[in-house]
Amino acid sequence: MTTGRSVFLLAFLAVLALSPGCLSTSIGPVAYDGKNLLVQVTNIGGPEDAALQVNVFRFQDFRQVEVGRWMLPVRLAQGTSTYTIPLALNKGNFRLYLYVTTGNDRRAGVIREITVEGDGSTPRIVAG
């Protein structure tokens, strides 16, 4: 590797490491307790207001059908926090699109697939 490429690569990595955004916030595991979706979010930066959005789709006839969209205003604290979004899911396979936004900036986004295998007060989910 030439010296010019090495310097460019190091400069790029330094800018990437110091830039805010997706690197400072991440979405961890999700859990479903039969009434609520529990979403773990890790924020490396300081406290700030944000929104946690969840778009839920179920699989039907070889296609995705939207179940609903939920938006929860949250206060991101430094470290890892768990946020609760009230929603009811029936037995079945679901795809969750999760986003954390601040203003017009998307800070984090993930797709999770879950299967709800039980009904009532003791559902079981299988993360995909």
- pLDDT, one tens digit per residue, over 44-61 is 988 999 999 999 999 888
Q: Is residue 122 part of a domain?
A: yes
Share of the chain above pLDDT 90, in %: 57
Query: Does residue 92 form part of some domain?
Result: yes
Q: Is residue 16 part of a domain?
A: no
Q: CATH number for the domain including 37?
A: 2.60.40.10
Q: What is the pLDDT of residue 19?
A: 46
pLDDT of residue 24: 86
Give the pLDDT confidence score for residue 119 in this predicted structure: 60
Looking at residue 13, the DSSP 8-state letter turns out to be H
Q: What are phi and psi of 92, to 5 degrees?
A: 150, -175
**Which residues does the chain have with pLDDT short of 70?**
1-23, 119-128
Number of domain units in the chain: 1
